[in-house]
Structure 1
Amino acid sequence: MSASAQIVLRKKRNSKGLYPLAIRITKNRRSTFKHIGHTIDLEDWDDKNLKVKKSNPDADSLNNLLSSRLSEVRKGLMNLQSENTDFSAGQIKRNIYKPISSLTLHDYAKEHLDNLEAEKKINRLTTDTALTTYIWVFHRSKNLRFQDISERWLKKFKTYLLGERKLSETSALNVMVLIRLLYNRAISDKVVSKDLYPFGKGGFQIKFPETHKVGLNKKEILIFENVENITDVERHALNVWLYSFYFAGMRVSDVLFTRWSMIYDGRLHYRMSKNGKLVSLKIPIKALAILKSYEKDRLSEDDFVFPEMKKADLSNAKDVYNKTRTANYKFNRHLKTLTKKTKITKKVTMHIARHSFGNIAGDSIHPLMLQKLYRHTDLKTTISYQANFIHKEADEALNSVIDF
C-alpha cells in the first residue's frame, strides 16, 4: 500500500487552548505526524478544505507554509517509493527529514566525554565511557545518526542490554538516559528535528524501578561502636564508616579529603565534591573521639586526617579517583568481615552509612532540616530518599486493622 500525506489540525489542545497544525503521514493504516510549529484556535480551522480560515490574521502565511511543507513531504514519499523500499510511517518520517548537520551520536558522545575529562569528573567519565561502548557494539558502528534512533531501535537496544549483556534494569536505563541527554543536546543545536524525538510521552519512556534502601538501626550502630578484638585495618575502616555516619552520611570522597585545617571553632567546614556546596557542621562528640585517634599522625595543619590521600598526586584527577576507588574497595571488604564478626546480617558498605543515617532519622526530623543535612538541591529529592525509611504511619495503620 502506498503512503499518503495530508494537512491536519491535531485535536490536542495545549495549555493556551490552541491546537497544533501538522502533516499526517499514513502507511498501512498507521500514522505519524510532522508538526510545523504553529498553533491556532479551533474555530480558525477549515476542516473541509484543510486550511486556515481568513478569521486568523496569519492565515495567508500559515497556509503557504502548510502547502510548502506538504510539498516537501510528498516529494520525499515519491523518492522513497521510487526506490521500491517498504517503509513504515515512522521510517518515512525519519528519512524525509534529513539532518541539518552530519554530526552523529558518536560526535556528541566524544564531546561529552572530553568535557568530563576537562572538568576532572573522572568517576562520571569512567561510567559514561563504559555506557557508550554498549552502543557502538550493538550498532556495530560508531556512525549512528540521530534520525536512526527510533522508539523501536531503543526497545531492541534495551532487550540486547538486558539479555545478551545481562545488565540490570537500572543499568540498562542509565544507557538510555545518556542517549537522551545527547539527543537533547543535538536538538538544541538544531542537528536533528525535535519531531523525531523518540523519548517521552508517545515514545520510549524511561522509568527506573523502585529501589529498596537498607540502613543499620540504632542497635546495630551500637554494636559497631562497641566491637572489640578487631584488627587495625578493620578498626580504620570502621572509623571511616562511623565518621561518615556521624556527619549525616558524608560521601567517602569527602571523608578522605577531610583536612585538619577544615576543623575549627568546633565545626567541620568543607565543600562537597559532588555539587560544590559549602557545608558547616558541628562536630559530634563521637566524631571528635575518632579525630583525636588520628591526631598523632598529623604532619601539618593542612594535612589530611585519614591517610589514603596523603600520597595521592592531587594534580592528577585520575590518580585521585583511583586512590579513592581503591580505598572504598578496601573499606567495603573490611566492613564485610566486621559484619560477620558482629553477626549483623545486613550488607554494610561505605554508602550504607548514608542509608543508616536516613533510617535512624526516619520521620523524627523535619524534611527541611534533612534537606539541609543532606545538601539536596530539591526538597523532593529528600522526601523521596526518606520515603525508603519512614514506616511508622503505615505500621500504625496496619496494626489498627489486625490488632484485635
Structure 2
Amino acid sequence: MATFRFELDHKPTRNKTYNLYLMVTAAGKRTKKKTGIQLKRIDDFNPQCKGNNWIRANVPDAKVLNEQLRLMLVQAHEAYQELASDGDVSSAKVIKNLDAEYVSPSFLAFARERAQMIYDNGGWRNWRKYCGLINKLDAFRKKRRMADITVDDLTVDLLTRFDNFLHKWENEREPGKLLHPNTIEVQFNILRTLVHRAIEVGIMEASKDPFLVFKYKGVKTTKEKLSDTEMERIISLELEEGSLIWHCKNYFLFSYYCAGIRAADLIQLRWRNVTENGRLHYQMGKNHKDRDLLLVDQALDILRYYHNDDVKPDDYIFPLLDNEAPFAKFVTQADKDRMKPELRHQLYQQISAKNALINKYLKKIAEKAEITTNLTMHISRHAFAHIAQEAGAESSAIKNILGHSNLATTERYMGSFDTSKTNNTLRTLFKKKSEPKMAPQEGADSSMSKEEKAIELLKGMAPEQIMAVISAINK
C-alpha cells in the first residue's frame, strides 16, 4: 500500500519562497519530488484541504496550480498501480515513473485563468487585450493542428511561427488590411507578461523563457498632435451654445487646459475635485497617481457654464454620467476599487460609450476647423505636451504635469512634486491673448545699453519665460 500527499518545505529559498513537494511513501520508504510550485507564504498552502484545493483561493492562479497538482496526483497513483501489478514497487520507482510521464501544464488554460482574474478585478481594457491574444493563440493552435499549447511548447521556434502567423492576420478594425506591426508588438508584450507570470508561480522554469532569445519590435510612428495655430482654430470655432457639439468642444478644451486630462478621468470628475483655491485635484484611474493642477482662467470659464447653485460636491461636473446611477455612489478611486465586477463593468461601458460619442463630434469639429488630424480626446494630451515644449516650458515641468505612469523613474529622481513649476507652466502657456505684451519698465533710460535694457525686461518675467527666451537664443 502507498500514500501520497503534498507537503510544504517551511525552510524558505533564496527568493524567500517555499517549495511544495509531493511525498510518496511505499514499501516503508518515503521519497519526495518537487512539484515546481513555490509559494510566497506558508499559509498559502492548505494541507487539510477538501476538493483538491491545496493552494488557497487568494493565491494568484490558484485554479491552474491546483489542477496541476491534481494531475500529478493522478499520475502518481497510476504509476504505483502499474508497478504494483509487476510486483516491483518502491517510492523511488514511483517518482522515477512520474518523471518519465511528466505532462506539461496547459499554457492556454493558464492564460485564460489570468484573463478571468483581470476581468474580476475590473481591468476591462486589459481583459479585452488578453482575450484578443488568447483567441489568436487558439487560432494558431488549430491551424497547426495542436491539441493544446503547453508550457513546454513555448519555444523560440513556436514564437517565430506565431510571429509569421500574426503578420497574415486581418485587421478587424480596418478590413482589407493586415495587423499593424505595433499591434503585433502588443501581442508579444502580453505573451511575455504571461510567460514571466508562469515563471513566478512555478509552472515554467526561468531558463526555458523563450523571450531570453526571441525579440520583436514594432515600427516607430509619429504621434498625432496639433499646432498652436490649429488649437486656435478650435478655440475660436463658433458653435451653437448648448448643442452637443458645443459641449464636446468644451470637454476637449478643458482637457487641454488641464494638461491633457484623460477622457475617462474627465468624464468622472466631481465638483469635489475643484478646490476653493482654484485647483483641480483628482486621482488618475489608470495608475492611481494624484494630480494637483492650477485651473487657468480658460478652464474656470468652462466650469462656470456647468456650475449652478444646486450642485452637490459629489455631482459629476459634466453632463455625461447619471448622478443617480448605482456606480455614482462610489466617489473616490479607493471606493471604485471595491466595486463589484458587474458594477465596474457597467461604469466602464458608460465611460466607453461617452468617450466614443465625444470623439464622434470631435471629428466634426476637426472638419469645421479644417484640421486633418484625427481629433480625439487623447490628442488634447499630445497637443498640450507639444505646444508646451514649443513654448519653451521645462521638460521636468511637462513630465510632472502630465503625470504619466511610465515616468516613475524620472519622478523618483526629481523627488517631491513641486507644483510651483507646473503653476508657472500653465500660467505662461495659457496667458490670455488679450493681455498686453510686456513693455520696458517705466523710467527706463533710452540711452541704456542693450545689455541693461535686456536686464530690465527680464526683471518682470516669470522663470519659465526667461528659460524660453534663453532656449530661443540657443536654437
Pairwise TM-score range, normalised by the shorter structure:
0.5 to 0.7
Of the candidates 335, 340, 364, which is equivalent to residue 337 of structure 1? Answer: 364
SS in 1 for 2:182: helix
Q: What do the CA deviations read for 1:77-97 (whole angstroms, capped 9, x no partner)?
A: xxxxxxxxxxxxxxxxxxxx9
Distance, in Å, in 2 between the alignment partners of 1:308 and 1:99 is 59
Of the candidates 330, 346, 352, which is equivalent to residue 325 of structure 1? Answer: 352
SS in 1 for 2:211: coil
Equivalence map 1:295-334=2 (5 Å): 295-296=307-308, 299-310=311-322, 312-314=325-327, 315=339, 316-334=343-361
The answer as to whether partners of 2:389 and 2:395 remain within 8 angstroms in 1 is: no
SS in 2 for 1:131: helix
Distance, in Å, in 1 between the alignment partners of 2:370 and 2:100 is 63
Q: 1:182 offset after TM fit, Å?
A: 1.2
| Counterpart AA for 2:396 | L
Q: Does 1:181 align with 2:193?
A: yes
SS in 2 for 1:135: helix
Q: What do the CA deviations read for 1:305-326 (whole angstroms, capped 9, x no partner)?
A: 1122226541511111111111
Q: Does 1:211 align with 2:213?
A: no
Corresponding residue number in structure 2 for 1:222: 232
SS in 2 for 1:280: strand
Change (3 A) 1:340 1:135: same
Distance, in Å, in 2 between the alignment partners of 1:371 and 1:126 is 29
| Counterpart AA for 1:213 | K
SS in 2 for 1:206: coil
Distance, in Å, in 1 between the alignment partners of 2:240 and 2:137 is 46
Residues paired across the two proteins, number: 291
Distance, in Å, in 2 between the alignment partners of 1:131 and 1:245 is 34
Change (3 A) 1:289 1:100: farther
Q: 1:154 offset after TM fit, Å?
A: 1.1
The answer as to whether partners of 1:101 and 1:191 remain within 8 angstroms in 2 is: no
Equivalence map 1:3-402=2 (5 Å): 102-140=104-142, 143-165=148-170, 166-200=178-212, 203-230=213-240, 232-264=243-275, 265-296=277-308, 299-310=311-322, 312-314=325-327, 315=339, 316-362=343-389, 364-379=392-407
Distance, in Å, in 2 between the alignment partners of 1:98 and 1:334 is 63
Q: 1:114 offset after TM fit, Å?
A: 2.3
Greater Rg over alpha carbons, structure: 2
Q: 1:375 offset after TM fit, Å?
A: 1.2
Q: What do the CA deviations read for 1:181-219 (whole angstroms, capped 9, x no partner)?
A: 11111222232222222113xx21022321211211111
SS in 1 for 2:187: helix
| Counterpart AA for 1:153 | L
Q: 1:171 offset after TM fit, Å?
A: 1.2
Distance, in Å, in 2 between the alignment partners of 1:195 and 1:100 is 18
The answer as to whether partners of 1:238 and 1:335 remain within 8 angstroms in 2 is: yes
Distance, in Å, in 1 between the alignment partners of 2:368 and 2:261 is 25
Corresponding residue number in structure 2 for 1:86: none
Distance, in Å, in 2 between the alignment partners of 1:297 and 1:217 is 38
Q: 1:273 offset after TM fit, Å?
A: 0.3
Distance, in Å, in 2 between the alignment partners of 1:108 and 1:378 is 28
The answer as to whether partners of 1:298 and 1:304 remain within 8 angstroms in 2 is: no
Unaligned runs of 5+ in 1: 1-96, 384-391
Distance, in Å, in 2 between the alignment partners of 1:294 and 1:344 is 28
The answer as to whether partners of 2:104 and 2:152 remain within 8 angstroms in 1 is: no
Q: 1:284 offset after TM fit, Å?
A: 1.0
Q: 1:380 offset after TM fit, Å?
A: 8.4
Distance, in Å, in 2 between the alignment partners of 1:209 and 1:195 is 29
Q: 1:287 offset after TM fit, Å?
A: 0.6
* Seq. identity, %: 27
| Counterpart AA for 1:253 | A
Q: What do the CA deviations read for 1:197-242 (whole angstroms, capped 9, x no partner)?
A: 2113xx2102232121121111111111111145711111111111
Distance, in Å, in 2 between the alignment partners of 1:252 and 1:376 is 14
| Counterpart AA for 2:264 | S
Change (3 A) 1:310 1:100: farther
Corresponding residue number in structure 2 for 1:51: none
Alignment root-mean-square deviation, CA: 2.9
Distance, in Å, in 1 between the alignment partners of 2:139 and 2:202 is 27
Q: 1:377 offset after TM fit, Å?
A: 4.5
SS in 1 for 2:119: helix
| Counterpart AA for 1:374 | L
Unaligned runs of 5+ in 2: 1-98, 171-177, 328-338, 412-467
Distance, in Å, in 2 between the alignment partners of 1:106 and 1:297 is 56
